[in-house]
């Protein structure tokens, strides 16, 4: 299997570079690099957005969470898709009519504040780098599973490939890359899911939610990828090769008692058919009753699963509006109507994809309970084909899954790096293509180094945190900035600083283990439940208290965003917004 998987990953990586290099011939101006000259048709753009959006959490993380935590984890996939309905209704067309490169451009054009531009740029960097971390982690565990390489090798490989690809082709190049990779990811998860579903039908059980005391349906050899603690519900005979309970065995028969055991990395334990499946101490699966629950049952939710579930729903529903690498995609549409059509197609494409992680999760839960021993829910999808379909067919399916996983990391990382590099080169440094290229390389290096610190967190949790930060900062800015003319620059600044800052502080406290049980774990582990309303409230109240800082050109800007294309082009908002930016307190002289 390693040869097949390595070949598949190498093929995807090489093809990504070749397709991205197409952008070199046409990516010469800032418009080409930042927004693909605003000439991307809806179908192509929708596939590119979907390819960019389906990240490591979508491909690997959701299925693993469903296996371990239960059906409540499906709220992640529901939220990821439904977020585009909110984006369609509130943001897509007005944002395209506004016409800018980045979210900081929107902030300064709408509100005319240099300070707000700098604050928004800093948040773009935070969200972008935070979202890059799970992509790097996913690449690390994928290569670790395929080749046995150290975790950092996969993260570094992804960082180098994506940084070079962005530096070569910019947005023009990655549009083709991400479109291609959406269809690759759909095939890479859809084909294995359907094949394994058919294969499992020969020995499937009508009970798809087995109890915790599961048994092996056939003789199985389990290989530990790292030091793993586990328990048995009853004693069992096993054949052990490697380190177990501080003793070394060489293909020896051992009677394992119903107690706690510790197996070393690379230890192989063979179980007979009917033997109890060991339960990993690091990743204990939910019972049958809790697995059926529609609420999240993660350890960070404490005794309040409903609150944790609402936290995920709010973060994912409203987070898409505030993701910089997604919003910049709508600037690549020719007009507002094309932006709406693009969003509708995206919803259809995402809905098609998210059917298959659920199928894989149910199959793993019912047919391969030994995967709980991996101690890492994110690797379950990678291992499932070889477990359910031994031999060459399983190896080929596993190689296809590995290639699709790497495509997920490549496509999402590409969009994120464009966003981060664009913010750095366009808003912090002097503008230009050369600066953009160097910023892409630097941003990729920083994300690669930071990824070494988040190996212990699940992919879905890391992505959910990025959504929470976006929902707590840029979502209120975009919604109120587009639909409420009384929003002021001071109100916007207060809202994104307090909302985004509170969310980031809560996440950091969770990463440091400050609160691990009860309400503290809920409010810090899923902070969007309170930081999003806080951001909207602060932005509204402060704007009402500071009416004198309302931009002088607010009427022109609102007309530009809400009039039909033919009329809005006649509103010369750019000159007014630039004047407001350079002299925000200046008022037009009286007659």
3-state helix, strand, coil in the chain (%, to 5): 70, 5, 25
Among 284, 314, 335, residue at a domain's last position: 284
Could you tell me if residue 475 is inside a domain? no
For the chain, the domain total comes to 2
Whole-number pLDDT of residue 492: 94
Report the C-alpha gap between 111 and 102 in whole angstroms. Answer: 14
Q: Is residue 575 part of a domain?
A: no
Closest CA to 147 of 1, 11, 13: 1
Judge if 58 and 163 occupy the same domain.
yes
**SS3 state at 23:** helix
Same domain, 443 and 368: yes
Q: How far apart are CA 395 and CA 399, in angstroms?
A: 6
Same domain, 247 and 351: no
Residues 147 and 72 in one domain: yes
Query: Is 452 a domain residue?
Result: yes
Show Cβ contacts of residue 578 under 8 Å, excluding neighbours closer than 6 positions. none
Residues 18 and 105 in one domain: yes
Same-domain check for residues 64 and 187: yes
Asked whether the beta carbons of 224 and 264 are under 8 A apart, the reply is yes
- Is 23 a domain residue? yes
Closest CA to 9 of 114, 149, 167: 149
Residues 160 and 79 occupy one common structural domain? yes
Among the candidates 389, 422, 456, a domain finishes at: 456
Check residue 276 and give its pLDDT: 82
| CATH code at position 9 | 1.20.1730.10
Please report the pLDDT score of residue 2 as a whole number: 62
Instruction: Dig out the tokens for 343 from the structure.
Output: 């969003």
Q: Are residues 396 and 349 in the same domain?
A: yes
End-to-end Cα spacing for the chain: 79
Q: Is 385 exposed, middle or buried (0-12, 13-18, 19+ CB in 10 A)?
A: buried
Question: Do 432 and 355 share a structural domain?
Answer: yes
Domain that holds residue 25: 2-201+322-456
Q: Which of 405, 433, 456 is the last residue of a domain?
A: 456
Q: Give yes or no: residues 45 and 176 share one domain.
A: yes
pLDDT of residue 348: 92
**Mean pLDDT of residues grouped by 10 in the chain (591 residues)?**
73 72 51 50 84 82 82 88 87 78 82 86 89 88 82 86 70 68 89 88 50 64 76 87 90 89 86 80 58 68 77 92 78 73 89 91 78 69 83 86 84 80 75 76 86 83 90 94 92 95 93 77 89 96 92 85 69 45 40 33
Same domain, 50 and 144: yes
Q: What is the pLDDT of residue 580?
A: 44
Radius of gyration of the chain from its Cα atoms, rounded to whole angstroms: 25
Residue 270 sits in the same domain as residue 231? yes
Give residue 217's pLDDT: 65
Ordered alpha helix ranges (H), 238-322:
288-291, 305-319
């Amino acid at each position: 299997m390693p040869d097949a998987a390595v070949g598949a990953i190498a093929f995807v990586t090489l093809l990504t570079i070749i397709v991205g290099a197409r952008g070199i011939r046409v990516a010469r101006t800032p418009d080409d690099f930042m927004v693909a000259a605003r000439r991307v048709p809806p179908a192509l753009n929708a596939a590119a957005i979907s390819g960019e959006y389906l990240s490591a959490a979508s491909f690997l993380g959701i299925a693993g969470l469903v296996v371990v935590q239960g059906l409540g984890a499906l709220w992640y996939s529901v939220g990821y898709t439904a977020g585009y309905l909110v984006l369609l209704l509130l943001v897509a067309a007005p944002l395209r009519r506004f016409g800018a490169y980045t979210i900081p451009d929107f902030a300064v054009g709408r509100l005319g504040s240099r300070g707000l531009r700098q604050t928004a740029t800093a948040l773009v960097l935070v969200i972008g780098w935070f979202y890059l971390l799970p992509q790097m982690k996913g690449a690390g565990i994928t290569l670790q599973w395929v080749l046995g390489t150290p975790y950092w090798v996969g993260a570094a490989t992804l960082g180098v490939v994506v940084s070079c690809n962005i530096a070569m082709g910019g947005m023009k190049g990655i549009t083709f890359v991400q479109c291609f990779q959406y269809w690759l990811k759909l095939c890479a998860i859809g084909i294995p899911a359907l094949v394994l579903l058919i294969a499992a039908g020969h020995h499937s059980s009508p009970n798809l939610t087995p109890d915790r005391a599961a048994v092996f349906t056939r003789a199985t050899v389990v290989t530990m990828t790292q030091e793993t603690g586990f328990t048995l519900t009853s004693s069992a005979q096993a054949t052990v090769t490697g380190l177990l309970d501080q003793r070394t065995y060489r293909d020896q028969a051992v009677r394992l008692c119903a107690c706690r055991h510790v197996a070393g990395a690379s230890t192989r334990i063979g179980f007979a058919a009917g033997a109890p499946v060991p339960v990993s101490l690091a990743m204990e699966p939910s019972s049958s009753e809790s697995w059926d629950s529609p609420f999240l049952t993660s350890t960070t939710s404490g005794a309040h699963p409903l609150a944790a579930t609402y936290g995920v729903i709010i973060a994912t529903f409203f987070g898409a509006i505030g993701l910089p690498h997604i919003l910049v995609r709508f600037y690549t549409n020719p007009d507002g109507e094309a932006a709406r059509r693009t969003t509708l197609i995206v919803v259809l494409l995402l809905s098609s994809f998210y059917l298959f992680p659920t199928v894989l999760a149910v199959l793993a839960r019912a047919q391969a309970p030994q995967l709980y021993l991996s101690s890492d829910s994110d690797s379950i999808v990678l291992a499932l084909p070889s477990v359910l379909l031994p031999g060459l067919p399983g190896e080929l399916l596993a190689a296809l899954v590995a290639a699709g996983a790497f495509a997920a990391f490549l496509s999402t990382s590409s969009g994120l790096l464009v966003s981060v590099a664009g913010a750095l080169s366009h808003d912090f440094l002097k503008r230009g293509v050369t600066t953009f290229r160097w910023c892409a390389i630097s941003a990729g290096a920083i994300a690669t180094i930071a990824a070494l610190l988040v190996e212990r967190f699940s992919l879905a949790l890391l992505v959910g945190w990025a959504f929470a930060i976006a929902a707590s900062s840029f979502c209120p800015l975009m919604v109120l900035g587009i639909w409420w003319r009384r929003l002021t620059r001071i109100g916007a600044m207060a809202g994104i600083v307090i909302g985004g800052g509170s969310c980031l502080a809560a996440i950091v406290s969770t990463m440091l283990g400050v609160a691990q049980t009860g309400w503290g774990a809920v409010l810090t582990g899923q902070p969007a439940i309170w930081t999003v309303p806080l951001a909207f409230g602060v932005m509204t109240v402060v704007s009402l208290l500071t009416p004198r800082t309302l931009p002088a050109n607010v009427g022109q800007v609102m007309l530009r965003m809400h009039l039909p294309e033919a009329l809005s082009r006649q509103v010369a908002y750019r000159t007014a917004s630039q004047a407001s930016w350079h002299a925000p307190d200046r008022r037009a002289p009286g007659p």
